Structure 1
Amino acid sequence: MGQQEKVATSLAGAVSEGISASLVSVDEELARRYPGDPGTRQPVHTVYVPGDAFDAGTIRSWGDQALAMLDEHAPDAASLAAALGLPDELADDVHARVRAKLEHEPIEDLRVDFEDGYGGKDGAAEDADAARAARLISEAYATGTAAPYMGIRMKCMEAAVRDRGIRTTDVFLSGLMEHGGLPEGLVLTLPKVTYAEQVSAFVRLVEAFEKAHGLDAGRLGFEIQIETSQAILAPDGTATVARMIDAAEGRATGLHYGTFDYSACLGVSAAYQASDHPAADHAKAIMQVAAAGTGVRVSDGSTNVLPVGPTDKVHDAWRLHYGLTRRALARAYYQGWDMHPGHLPTRYAAVFAFYREGFEQAAARLSAYANQAGGDVMDEPATAKALSSYLLRGIDCGALGTDEVARLTGLTRADLDGFAAPRRGDLTATAP
């Protein structure tokens, strides 16, 4: 036993109490504005289907079309690996998982579109399509055939289409209530937001709907679509998107980047409008920083290059989509848009390869951290959070199995959830 050290202090307890009292408002502000990730599943993509084209068979139809394309253009693991540049050791597993995904859950998030993808319809037609969407989505959830997340993108809050957007939202939500209530996976997307006041206006809209139906306050959240330069940079030079999150009053669930509207807004030529353009990277970096810690998730945009035609053309489009998806994942954009059934095979191939190739290393590092076993990397609590979040995302999308994660980490799902959502103070603690 060594000599016991004498502990000396110089400050009275009142000093600590006074400092804490002076920071009460800051503590409350941190808790309100930065609650952290909600810990729920984030879909790997969002599929947009025009309101007049959506029907009860849409999800299965997309899955069947994607399977047919896979069978025609990459019928086995070797051909898929050759087309996409997959490592040989991942090819069999990724190909099998992609097929299984397309068979059992081809779409993770579906948005019935009443904005750009809808076209010009008269009011009666849009009313009917919105009511039909509500009925079909309600029936899908009741029968177990729904995607995990479903909802609509209404028209924006700009003057020319504002009344129509409000009415479509009302018709759709009222229809859901008529057919059994709001499903847990409901998602609303507000497009072309340029001012925080438009977000505040949409908050007033959903508040009014909640009150009209006796729903809990805050039941209705929504995504904000970032498609204009004004959404990134305000006239005074500040970040508008951060104001938008605040204006949502805790209801914002996501920020979705609109590749082509945003690019066109900046004057980018059509041939260069893509999610990897420097202008896109700048916008998404601003979105990412503004959303960090708020519980609002960021989604990448889409590619408009469709995998259609002969096999060589399909493979070219697949390689592009696969590469863009992998690039987004590396930048922590875990969600994107898919515009065509042919994008589903490469969406899932990219996502599954991303999680499969890093799985063993992530599991080993998290296991060593949890067991204080040391190793060749000194991980901190923030890194443990990232490691467990990575594994949880892999499990949620089907890239990883719960059993294999438990086998390599020795951790349960509850353990992973605990590491992924630590208390704020834990992230600044010293690693064990």
Structure 2
Amino acid sequence: MRTTLGGHQDVPGFAAAHREQSWRYPGPGDAWQPVHTVYVPADRFGPGTAREWGDAALALLERHLPSAGRLAEVFGPVPGDLAADVRDRVARKLAAEPVEDLRIDFEDGYGTRPPAEEDAHAVRAAEAVAAAHAGGTLPRRWGPRVKSFADGDPGRALRTLDLLLTGVADRVGGLPPGLAVTFPKVLMESYLGQFATGLAGLERGLGLHAGALRFEMQVEAPQTVMFLQRSADLVPSLGGRLAAAHFGVFDYTAACGLPPGEQRLDHPVCDHAREVMRTALAGTGVELSDGSLAAAPASEATADVHALWRAHAGMVRHSLRHGFYQGWDMHPSHLVSRYATVYTFHLAAFDAYAARVAAWEACRDAEGGVMDEPATVKTLTAALRRAGMALEGTAP
């Protein structure tokens, strides 16, 4: 067989470029990702916090949605044959594992306190984490949100983190699995490297292996979006320490000058920021999380509880449709609408996705004349895997 170039061709520089590609863009990992993060002010956190949230959410469900009859009316489109299943899954989830991921908040939800008071709350939080771990009530992911370096006092953020992690390690004999540290209001790219250096120091002091302490950055300002757009080396420069990026809707919309009535998760300026997050971090293995709804039921009346659920479900559905599969919950009522919307989203498409993957594997077109491309099949497979993780532990 005649060729112009001859045999197998070596491409100069290819091997090095391919190694760099693999290093920069390892793709999504196989690790479980929670569907939400609950954050609780540090002075209100205790070993029973997750269970308390679950009990409160379950009570709301039983009182204001005792059957599946009004599920679609409250939470949006729910195929009729799924309504009873979704409600049952939500009830079982709230009873068994109401909170998948919890942040002990020392930032906006906590405020500025005298140094001695914050020290005391950090120590008390360490005691509560140790007690929750011993009692089996510590969520699968847990950790603090420390203060921002943008506040002008990085020492305060690192001291609180040190007190908490050292206190937990001393009481438990190590750090329980699932630790996540949230670093807010990253107005300067250099703050990320400085925070990573602080984590490295904590690792050495606690006798942890290098890289054991990773963190989540919060995207809460236009400045952050700008450096995400221009910095191709951000993730590699942090040496694998950046685990996730979480969007902060209220700080971001305020920084963009939006009026209070427009500070909402589905505003176009938020969609833009999330698209920058997605493209800047695509393929890096850094998880993405959306923001929250800052609202609780206006009263204990069923109409007000349903109104809250309806609003929250709409925001969660917006996030899911745009490929953000995790978000922040700020009130026990949000657990009901979070799980109901997530379960509906995954269950409604599961069988159709599975059939398309099966058709592809059998080398035939899917029903309805769908001709899937390899990239689509990869997406379908990822969606099935994500659905399996989200629905874990809720099956009858």
TM-score interval (norm. to shorter): over 0.9
Partner of 2:226, secondary structure, is coil
How far 1:26 moved relative to its partner?
1.5
8 Å CA contact retained: 1:130, 1:171: yes
Q: Partner of 1:112 in structure 2?
A: 104
Change (3 A) 1:167 1:401: closer
**Relative CO higher for 1 or 2, CA cutoff 8 Å, sep ≥ 6?**
2
**What is residue 245 of structure 1 aligned with on the other side?**
235
Q: TM (normalized to structure 2)? A: 0.94
Post-superposition Cα deviations, 1:145-199, rounded to whole Å, max 9, x if no partner, equal: 2211000000111252311101011111212221221222000000000122100
Question: In structure 2, the residue corresponding to 1:216 is in which secondary structure?
Answer: coil
Which residue in 1 is equivalent to 2:285? 295
Q: Is the 8 A contact 1:260 1:274 kept in 2?
A: yes
What are the residue-to-residue correspondences of 1:264-279 with 2, within 5 Å?
264-279=254-269
Check the 8 A contact 1:231/1:241 in 2, yes or no. Answer: no
Shift of 1:44: 0.5
Residues 382-391 or 286-295, more deviating: 382-391
Alignment root-mean-square deviation, CA:
1.9
Provide structure 1 residue ranges, at least 5 long, that are not aligned to the other structure. Answer: 1-6, 405-432
Cα-to-partner distance string for 1:105-130 (whole Å, 9 max, x where unaligned): 10111000000001222212211221
Give the Å deviation of 1:46.
0.5
Q: Cα offset for 1:400? A: 8.4
1:242, distance to aligned residue in structure 2 (A): 5.3
SS of 2:102's equivalent in the other structure is strand
Write the mapping of 1:121-200 to structure 2, written as runs, cut at 5 A: 121-158=113-150, 160-179=152-171, 180-200=173-193
SS in 1 for 2:185: coil
TM-score after normalising by structure 1: 0.86
In 2, Cα distance between equivalents of 1:229 and 1:288: 15
Alignment CA distance shift 1:320-1:218 (3 Å): same
1:389-421 superposed Cα distances (whole Å, 9 cap, x missing partner) = 21222221226878x9xxxxxxxxxxxxxxxxx
Report the more deviating stretch, 342-351 or 305-314. Answer: 305-314
- The CA deviation string for residues 73-121 of structure 1, in whole angstroms up to 9 with x for no partner, is 1111003333223332221011000100100010111000000001222
Whole-Å separation in 2 of the counterparts to 1:249 and 1:315: 45
Name the CA shift for 1:246/1:159 in 2 (closer, same or farther; >3 Å). Answer: farther
For the 8 Å contact 1:356–1:400, the answer to whether it is kept is no
Contact conserved, 2:248 with 2:291, CA < 8 A, in 1?
A: yes
Paired residue secondary structure (1:233): helix
Between the two proteins, the alignment pairs up a number of residues equal to 391
Task: Give 1:217-228 correspondences, 5 Å limit.
Answer: 217-228=210-221
SS of 1:262 mapped into structure 2: helix
User: Per the alignment, do residues 93 and 9 of structure 1 end up closer, same or farther by CA in structure 2, a change over 3 Å counting?
Assistant: same
AA matched with 1:93? D
Report the counterpart of residue 387 of structure 1 in structure 2: 380
Offset from partner CA, 1:193-238 (integer Å, 9 cap, x none):
012210000111111111223321111111000111100114xxx7
Paired letter, 1:332: G
Asked whether the equivalents of residues 291 and 328 of structure 2 are also in contact (C-alpha less than 8 Å), the reply is: yes
Corresponding position of 1:422: none
Q: How many angstroms does 1:347 deviate by?
A: 0.2
Separation (CA, whole Å) in 2 of partners of 1:159 and 1:120: 10
Conservation of the 8 A alpha-carbon contact between 1:391 and 1:400: no
Distance 1:31 1:138 in 2: 38
SS of alignment partner, residue 166 of structure 2: helix
The letter of the residue matching 1:338 is: D
User: In structure 2, how many angstroms separate the alpha carbons of the residues matched to 1:259 and 1:243?
Assistant: 25
Residues 1:96 and 2:88 aligned together: yes
Question: Partner amino acid for 2:279?
Answer: V
Per mean C-alpha deviation after superposition, the further-off stretch among 43-52 and 379-388 is: 379-388
Q: Which amino acid is 1:245 matched to?
A: V
Structure 2 contact 143–180 (Cα < 8 Å) conserved: yes
Q: In structure 2, which of residues 299, 310, 320 is the aligned counterpart of residue 319 of structure 1?
A: 310
2:108 is matched by which residue type in structure 1? D
Q: Distance in 2 between matches of 1:399 and 1:77?
A: 21
Query: Residues 381 and 139 of structure 1: is their aligned pair in 2 closer, same or farther, counting only changes over 3 Å?
Result: farther
Over residues 351-383 of structure 1, what are the superposed CA-to-partner deviations in whole Å (9 max), with x where a residue is unaligned?
A: 000001001101111122233344332323322
How far off is 1:294 after superposition? Answer: 0.3
Shift of 1:11: 1.5
For the Cα contact (< 8 Å) 2:246–2:290, is it kept in 1? Answer: yes
| Paired position in structure 2 for 1:418 | none
Which residue number in structure 2 is paired with residue 416 of structure 1? none
Encode CA deviations 1:9-29: one digit per residue, 9 max, x unaligned. 22234x722x1x312332122
- Greater alpha carbon shift after TM alignment, 170-179 vs 182-191: 170-179
Q: Is 35-44 or 370-379 further displaced after alignment?
A: 370-379
CA distance in 2, matches of 1:57, 1:157: 31
